[in-house]
A and B are shown apart, each in its own frame.
Chain A
Amino acid sequence: MQDFAASFFEAFRLVISLDPDLLEVVWLSMRVSLSAVAMAALVGFPVGAFLAVARFPGRGLLVITISALMGLPPVVVGLVVYMLLSSAGVLGPLQLLYTPTAMIIAQTILVTPIVAALARQTLEDLHDEYRDQLVLYGLGNLAQLKTLLWEGRYSLLTTLLAGFGRAVAEVGAVIIVGGNINHVTRVMTTTIALETSKGNLALALGLGFILVTIAFAVNALVFMSRAAAVRRAYA
């Protein structure tokens, strides 16, 4: 079988040479997954916050449903988004299939339940702790939620990282709705799938190393900027 050393070498060679195709693919991966996480935050945080504090019939069912949706298979999401965006589908006129936007939509659907479910847990725990204090400040529900979101910001950041990890690592959804079109919708994971199917295992694994390294870099960046923010706030 293939040598792991060869994969390291491939990865190293690609990075050192700043291979333009590699950069394009990495950039698109980042753009798609970070956009998806941002959209997921816009939807998931309010939903999570609402579920954390609101009490209404069917809430428990909704909480369980959203938690369960964390396990959505990417391929299924890809298929559903494909059927919606296909020219034959309801949203066909938008002409979004095989574009990065389609990939962002699919990944947003994958990531939103993760963000919402984890945010709900974080904010519910915080709310239990803060409830009396926030009542004493005479805050309305919205102002309370705003404070809780800010108080939970570091945990919520980790929530976003979990979502980012899911998005940047999945291939099933983006390959269906993006089509893995060279220079248009080809991202890290679809490239890895393609190179694997070409039998270029060393190259595929090398790209895998690069993907993990990038994920590591994004996480490190977030943790460092968080540490810097903490230092600034309490300097």
Chain B
Amino acid sequence: MNRHLARFMAVSTVVAMTAGGAMADDFIVVQSTTSTQNSGLYDYILPIYEDKSGVQIRVVAVGTGQAIKNARNCDGDVLLVHAKPAEEKFVAEGYGVERTDLMYNDFIIVGPPADPAGVKGMKDASTALNKIADSENIFVSRGDDSGTNKKEVALWKAAGVDPSQSSGQWYRETGSGMGATLNATIGMDGYTMTDRATWIAFGNKADHEILVEGDKALFNQYGVILVDSEKCPRVKSDLGQAFVDWMLSDEGQKAIASYRLDGKQLFFPNAPNVTN
């Protein structure tokens, strides 16, 4: 009877050992952000590139801060995030070959329709944030060092408010991705800042709506960087460069521009040397 046990063990071991095998080598890992993933952009453009090149693009979607850290650990071939100063630092320290503008969308401030802080229709982000702070209505922050979070912190600074003094009171830091933060915002009937793409694709809006948009300060620039093989010898430079080149090419840029959700364009390509 012990034979059965032994056989079960043996079979399961074989299963376990082979489970990780049989992986195609033609793939690259892109460290990116939840905002691009949650918007559905990758599901739309990656198959186009994969069909054309035969190279599989594996996207790890985390916050921008985490994505940059992962890339610093050489756990990715390409970095696609939205926090320009951090990206430039990454390149300056030799981890990235070169940073190139890829596309943009914009940030918006969403909140409850009753709008107790009275910011609806405002164009100026600083003034709007000041009003929210003064009214002490709940504002939900990512608080996760992501690109969106970095942008939000910069806006608070520009507005002359230090919300961290009120953390845990009207200023709530979720330490989570955009989606989880939006869910929390809906649940607390509060305000938050999000990128437009994630908001449009978000399925649990309840009756929250866009209250503040259109400020130049809310501009959200995405950049793309090939991880440097001098720091990270195992980086697949050729495959990675080919992907970056395609994203920046007319074809790639058109693909980004043609992604629509609910009839709305979510990302606006703006790579250099390309006219749109």
> A: which residues have CB within 8 A of B?
1-2, 31-32, 34-39, 41-42, 86-89, 92, 95-102, 104, 146, 149-150, 153, 179-184, 194, 196-201, 203, 233
How many A-B residue contacts, CB cutoff 8 Å? 115
B60 adjacent to A180 (CB under 8 Å)? yes
Is B157 engaged at the interface, CB distance under 8 Å to the other chain? no
Q: Is the interface of A mostly helix, strand, loop or mixed?
A: helix
A98 adjacent to B29 (CB under 8 Å)? yes
Known interface pairs A38-B16, A199-B204; 4 further A-B residue pairs with C-beta atoms within 8 A, sorted by A's residue number: A41-B12, A150-B5, A179-B60, A203-B203
A42-B13, A88-B74, A92-B74 known; A99 and B20 CB under 8 Å? Answer: yes
A150 adjacent to B1 (CB under 8 Å)? yes
Is B201 engaged at the interface, CB distance under 8 Å to the other chain? yes
Interface membership of chain B positions 13-41, coded 1 if the CB is closer than 8 angstroms to chain A and 0 otherwise = 10110011101000101000010011000
> B: which residues have CB within 8 A of A?
1-2, 5, 9, 12-13, 15-16, 19-21, 23, 27, 29, 34, 37-38, 42-43, 56, 58-61, 70, 72-75, 176-180, 182-183, 201-206, 232, 234
CB distance from A185 to the nearest CB of B (A): 8
CB distance from A188 to the nearest CB of B (A): 16
CB distance from A157 to the nearest CB of B (A): 10
Closest to A184 in B: B58
B15 adjacent to A38 (CB under 8 Å)? yes
CA distance A194 to B39 in the complex (A): 11
A35-B12, A199-B183 known; A89 and B23 CB under 8 Å? Answer: no
The 5 A-B pairs with the shortest beta carbon distances in the complex, nearest first, are A101-B20, A197-B179, A38-B12, A199-B204, A87-B74
CB distance from B59 to the nearest CB of A (A): 6
Q: Which residues of A lie under 8 Å from residue B34 when comparing CB positions?
A: 197
CA distance A152 to B16 in the complex (A): 24
A97 adjacent to B12 (CB under 8 Å)? no
A198 adjacent to B61 (CB under 8 Å)? no
A41 adjacent to B2 (CB under 8 Å)? no
CA distance A162 to B34 in the complex (A): 33
